[in-house]
């Protein structure tokens, strides 16, 4: 055998042995936490996992996700966040605002990716959208208070004669609740609408009294905030709205899937898919302090025609034509 051929064969054998050795070595497994204020929502969790998979992170292979859900009980969040920190997770994906706040209170070191959180600057989660500056970054829910003006405008387009609108909120307290209520009040004032603020403090016991209060106030339509504590009760809220024959717009898509009439909200699948990109960057060494917080670019109008028919409502053709999705 020629010397050159012998060298080539030897190099090939060494390379093959190296490849086999690398293949036999256990791959490094990364561990992340997922902290949710409500319960598991397949639509967004699937988008999150698919986003991770597209980037090479597969549960059971090179990734472990520790899931913790407060099931609408906000008081559980601090302990759940502490559990995740105690598991030495490399990143915590937290959704929405209360979960992100609990995660940051549990650790100022573990990177946190907030998903669909509100007013992160006002809450002290970040220094600015462009330069978060700490251990929190992520994706905001809205582009600002104008989203509530859009909600009210859609209600008026659906029910042109509407003058009095109820706003249903849950047991949200603190900065976020206050800001949301201020924003919707400002939008209503500009549009000449009278608001009736209704709060369901104890869930689910307060839902029926809340709708009874709306009937007494003679409201003509309803705006339901996407309170994290509502996520376990979407179907019940939609049912009561139907019983009271109230046209409703929701700020979260899952309400419509549960039988609600209409929602105008960011594309949640896209938000959770983009959250996977943030997790990937951090696992690869990026600092959350340097990753700008994204604001949504896609908003979806979803209309449930079956619910509209049950309410005796005819959806205006112009509104129907603008819908991103119609559920029949």
Q: What is the pLDDT of residues 276-318, one digit of tens each?
A: 999 999 999 999 999 999 998 888 999 999 999 999 999 999 9
What is the distance between the alpha carbons of residues 157 and 201, in angstroms, rounded to a whole number? 30
pLDDT for the residue 27: 54
What is the distance between the alpha carbons of residues 28 and 61, in angstroms, rounded to a whole number? 9
Reference 299, options 247, 257, 262; nearest CA is: 262
- The mean per-residue pLDDT over the stretch 261-274 comes to 94
Do 236 and 313 have their domain in common?
A: yes
- The mean per-residue pLDDT over the stretch 63-86 comes to 95
What is the DSSP code string of 236-279?
HHHHHHHHTT--EEESSTHHHHTT-SEEEEE-HHHHHHHHHHHH
Is residue 4, in this structure, part of any structural domain at all?
Answer: no
Measured CA distances, 179 to 10, 116, 173 (Å): 71, 16, 10
Measured CA distances, 134 to 35, 66, 93, 137, 274 (Å): 19, 23, 15, 8, 20
pLDDT band at 137 (very low <50, low <70, confident <90, very high): very high
- Write the CATH number for 42: 3.40.50.2300
Is residue 20, in this structure, part of any structural domain at all?
Answer: no
Do 212 and 138 have their domain in common?
A: no
Q: How many residues does the chain have?
A: 328
What is the distance between the alpha carbons of residues 3 and 24, in angstroms, rounded to a whole number? 32
> Taking each helix axis from N to C terminus, what angle separates 42-54 and 268-283, rounded to the nearest 10 degrees?
40
What is the distance between the alpha carbons of residues 105 and 82, in angstroms, rounded to a whole number? 9
pLDDT for the residue 24: 44
What is the distance between the alpha carbons of residues 92 and 164, in angstroms, rounded to a whole number? 42
Q: Is the pLDDT of residue 17 over 90?
A: no
Do 133 and 78 have their domain in common?
A: yes
Count of the separate structural domains present in the chain:
2
pLDDT band at 61 (very low <50, low <70, confident <90, very high): very high
Do 76 and 109 have their domain in common?
A: yes
Residue 194: domain span: 146-266+300-327
- How confident is the prediction for the chain on average, in pLDDT? 89
Higher pLDDT, 23 or 325: 325
Do 281 and 176 have their domain in common?
A: no
Is residue 13, in this structure, part of any structural domain at all?
Answer: no
pLDDT for the residue 22: 40
**Over the stretch 230-254, which tens digit does the pLDDT of each residue have?**
878 899 999 999 999 999 999 988 8
What is the distance between the alpha carbons of residues 154 and 176, in angstroms, rounded to a whole number? 23
Q: Output the pTM of the full model.
A: 0.84
Do 307 and 175 have their domain in common?
A: yes
**Over the stretch 192-214, which tens digit does the pLDDT of each residue have?**
999 999 988 888 899 999 999 99
Do 218 and 262 have their domain in common?
A: yes
Do 135 and 250 have their domain in common?
A: no
- The mean per-residue pLDDT over the stretch 5-16 comes to 50
Is residue 19, in this structure, part of any structural domain at all?
Answer: no
Q: Count CB neighbours of 150 within 10 A.
A: 15
Reference 36, options 105, 109, 114; nearest CA is: 114
Is residue 5, in this structure, part of any structural domain at all?
Answer: no
**Over the stretch 166-197, which tens digit does the pLDDT of each residue have?**
999 887 555 566 777 788 898 899 999 999 99
Is residue 18, in this structure, part of any structural domain at all?
Answer: no
Do 44 and 175 have their domain in common?
A: no
pLDDT for the residue 21: 43
Q: Is the pLDDT of residue 25 over 50?
A: no
pLDDT band at 3 (very low <50, low <70, confident <90, very high): low
**Over the stretch 215-231, which tens digit does the pLDDT of each residue have?**
999 999 999 987 777 87
Do 250 and 152 have their domain in common?
A: yes
**Which two tokens mark 273?**
């898919």
pLDDT band at 51 (very low <50, low <70, confident <90, very high): very high
Is residue 22, in this structure, part of any structural domain at all?
Answer: no
Do 316 and 186 have their domain in common?
A: yes
Do 188 and 307 have their domain in common?
A: yes
Is residue 135, in this structure, part of any structural domain at all?
Answer: yes
């Amino acid at each position: 055998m020629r010397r050159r051929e012998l060298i080539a064969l030897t190099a090939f054998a060494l390379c093959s042995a190296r490849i086999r050795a690398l293949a036999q070595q256990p791959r490094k497994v990364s561990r992340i936490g997922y902290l949710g204020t409500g319960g598991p929502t397949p639509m967004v969790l699937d988008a999150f996992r698919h986003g991770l998979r597209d980037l090479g992170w597969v549960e059971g292979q090179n990734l472990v996700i520790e899931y913790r859900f407060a099931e609408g009980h906000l008081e559980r969040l601090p302990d759940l966040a502490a559990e995740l920190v105690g598991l030495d997770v490399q990143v915590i994906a937290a959704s929405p605002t209360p979960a992100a706040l609990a995660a940051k209170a549990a650790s100022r070191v573990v990177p946190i990716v907030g998903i669909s959180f509100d007013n992160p600057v006002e809450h002290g989660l970040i220094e600015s959208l462009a330069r978060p500056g700490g251990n929190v970054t992520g994706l905001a829910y809205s582009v600002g208070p104008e989203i509530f003006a859009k909600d009210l405008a859609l209600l008026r387009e659906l029910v042109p004669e509407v003058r009095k609108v109820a706003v249903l909120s849950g047991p949200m307290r603190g900065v976020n609740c206050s800001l949301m209520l201020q924003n919707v009040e400002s939008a209503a004032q500009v549009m000449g609408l009278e608001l009736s603020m209704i709060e369901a403090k104890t869930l689910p016991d307060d839902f029926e009294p809340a709708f009874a209060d709306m009937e007494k106030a003679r409201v003509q339509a309803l705006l339901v905030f996407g309170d994290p504590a509502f996520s376990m009760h979407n179907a019940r809220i939609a049912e009561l709205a139907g019983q009271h024959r109230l046209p409703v717009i929701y700020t979260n898509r899952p309400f419509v899937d549960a039988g609600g009439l209409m929602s105008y909200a960011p594309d949640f699948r896209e938000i959770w898919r983009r959250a996977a990109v943030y997790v990937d960057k951090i696992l690869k060494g990026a600092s959350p302090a340097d990753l700008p917080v994204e604001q949504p670019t896609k908003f979806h109008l979803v209309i449930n025609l079956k619910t509209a028919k049950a309410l005796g409502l005819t959806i205006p053709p112009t509104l129907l034509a603008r819908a991103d999705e119609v559920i029949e």
